[in-house]
Amino acid sequence: MAAVVGVVSGLQLFSPDLLRAVPAWVALRHLRRLCLRPGAEIAPADLFALSHEVKSISEFWSHSWRGRLSAKLCLLLMLKNGGAAVCLGTVAALFVAVLSYQDLLPGWYKAARIEGRFDGEVKTSPWAILSGLIVASLTLLLWRSRVLVFLDQICIHQGDAGLKAKAIVQLGAFLKNSRKLVVVWDPTYLSRAWCVFELAAFLHTHNDEKPAQVVVKPIVFAPAVFVIAIGGVLLMAFEICLPSHNLFTLMRALYLIAWGLLVAHLLEDFWRHADVAEEQFRTFSWQSVTCDCCSMNHLGPNGEVIACDKEILTRCLNQWFGSQEAFENRVRTSVRDSFLGPITRGFPLGYSWQLGANSYLAWGMANMFASRAHAGAGEFTVVVPIYCVVWWLWLAPIQYFTLGLIARWIHKKHAEKLSRPAACAVTFTRYFGYAMNCGLPHLYQRLLQMVLDQISAALVFAFTTFSWALVAYHMWAKPSK
């Protein structure tokens, strides 16, 4: 045991051939197979053969096998393929918009409801936004990211007990040789001994890097991004395809509110999870985390006695941090900050993810630009790219940011024991806040378009909303205390 502890805690790579990684796309394909055919048997040797020896690992994927696999897969697909999906989807939408403008694609004429002032008809069609959606979805599923990642099930031989034991004791060294730690977080994560060990070992071995490259992504982000993107595409398609009629305007407003509430519900869910993590950190004790070996009473499948992982880990942690209490303190303070800081500060999904989820705005605006340019709508065409930049780069992100703040406040209030009238007031504020947050920017845009000429209205809208976004962000983007 002492020798094993020495190897684990020493963080030295004794057998470099054990340091293995797998291209991200191969790891994702494996997870997809597990999702589609949960019971399918895959020979451990075949799995192990997917990985190969490396000098260093780009990303160490840390996750709990207790978490929901499908959500985990979606999240990792977004993490690894999301950037490519947004770029290719946008290129496709722009290309198709040019074809629409050139009259090379079918479309239909409808009376324009452009800012209430343009009386002509425009030729419209949803092809640009649809092609953006289709190309982005295919890229998300099929893109082959070659980043070398560590996924335990593939990079550690699951069928050869000797190799497995050797790899496990070298896990600390693997983490030391990893450039980035990607935590796929679900509420079971902090209750698993190996997960906490991976997090602590990574931070311990990357102590001199400020900040350490830890990327924490809660799995609840996957459905949130999905709802934002698909809901947005539907809204834009609605706008583009349906006739200009008051009834449809009302339906669109109702749809906007329903969609906003769904996203708000997911954000409230996120804060519920963040609170669980907060509580887990606050009351963290190494004693309460579990290992599979302990739940099996340290008996193997044939009744043989197996060593306890946690005992080995405990001794390593003691060597690194001095004592168990010192380690627990570290988890409750600096590990907590590295973990919770990035996910509870600023934009709910992170700014780049927010841009990715909102890329439907660019696809829809490309559509609109083509229609208006085709109709010779002059300044009504010129303002489209301005509105695209405003909504995509700061207005929609800051709307989600405030939506996240309201959701957090609501979640806090729900946790308190409120009297009935107070609870009613909170519920009213919740819906009122969500509706205002959703509707006010649209109303403001419309008002400016009514009182100013189109280009001035767009510029004033851009300037004022940008100032508002800066002020709001600097006032409220604080880490959870």
Binding site for Zn ion (CB under 5 A): 291, 293-294, 308, 310
Q: Are 230 and 222 in contact (CB under 8 A)?
A: no
Q: Based on CB atoms, which residue is closest to Zn ion, 197 or 380?
A: 197
CB atoms under 10 Å from CB of 12, counted, come to: 11
Question: What totals of helices (H) and strands (E) does the chain contain, helices first?
Answer: 21, 8
In 3-state terms, what secondary structure has residue 150?
strand
Tell me how far, at minimum, the Cβ of 280 lies from Zn ion, in Å.
Answer: 20
Tell me how far, at minimum, the Cβ of 359 lies from Zn ion, in Å.
Answer: 46
φ, ψ at 249 (rounded to 5°): -65, -40
Q: Based on CB atoms, which residue is closest to Zn ion, 297 or 419?
A: 297
Cα–Cα distance between 30 and 77 in angstroms, integer?
Answer: 12
Q: Based on CB atoms, which residue is closest to Zn ion, 293 or 390?
A: 293
413's tokens: 């209030």
Q: Based on CB atoms, which residue is closest to Zn ion, 294 or 460?
A: 294
Query: Residues with Cβ < 8 Å from 125, sequence gap 6 or more?
Result: 100, 105, 106, 107, 108, 240, 367, 371
Pairing state between β 148-150 and 20-23: antiparallel
The one-letter code for the residue type at 188 is: T
Q: Based on CB atoms, which residue is closest to Zn ion, 244 or 285?
A: 285
Q: Based on CB atoms, which residue is closest to Zn ion, 194 or 221?
A: 194
Query: Residues with Cβ < 8 Å from 350, sequence gap 6 or more?
Result: 342
Residue 3 burial (C-beta neighbours within 10 Å; 0-12, 13-18, 19+): exposed
Tell me how far, at minimum, the Cβ of 357 lies from Zn ion, in Å.
Answer: 41
Q: Are 371 and 243 in contact (CB under 8 A)?
A: no
Q: Based on CB atoms, which residue is closest to Zn ion, 294 or 418?
A: 294
Please, which residues bridge with residue 221 across strands? Answer: none
Cα–Cα distance between 293 and 311 in angstroms, integer?
Answer: 11
Q: Based on CB atoms, which residue is closest to Zn ion, 227 or 308?
A: 308
Tell me how far, at minimum, the Cβ of 295 lies from Zn ion, in Å.
Answer: 8
Sequence-ordered alpha helix ranges (H) in 143-178: 152-155, 161-169, 171-176
Tell me how far, at minimum, the Cβ of 174 lies from Zn ion, in Å.
Answer: 21
Q: Based on CB atoms, which residue is closest to Zn ion, 11 or 313?
A: 313
Tell me how far, at minimum, the Cβ of 367 lies from Zn ion, in Å.
Answer: 58
Query: Residues with Cβ < 8 Å from 195, sequence gap 6 or more?
Result: 62, 63, 64, 189
Tell me how far, at minimum, the Cβ of 200 lies from Zn ion, in Å.
Answer: 18
Tell me how far, at minimum, the Cβ of 414 lies from Zn ion, in Å.
Answer: 37
Tell me how far, at minimum, the Cβ of 351 lies from Zn ion, in Å.
Answer: 41
Query: Residues with Cβ < 8 Å from 142, sequence gap 6 or more?
Result: none
Q: Based on CB atoms, which residue is closest to Zn ion, 9 or 367?
A: 9
Cα–Cα distance between 81 and 242 in angstroms, integer?
Answer: 33
Tell me how far, at minimum, the Cβ of 77 lies from Zn ion, in Å.
Answer: 33
Q: Which residues in 381-393 are b (16+ Cβ under 10 Å) and which e?
A: bebbebbbbbbbb
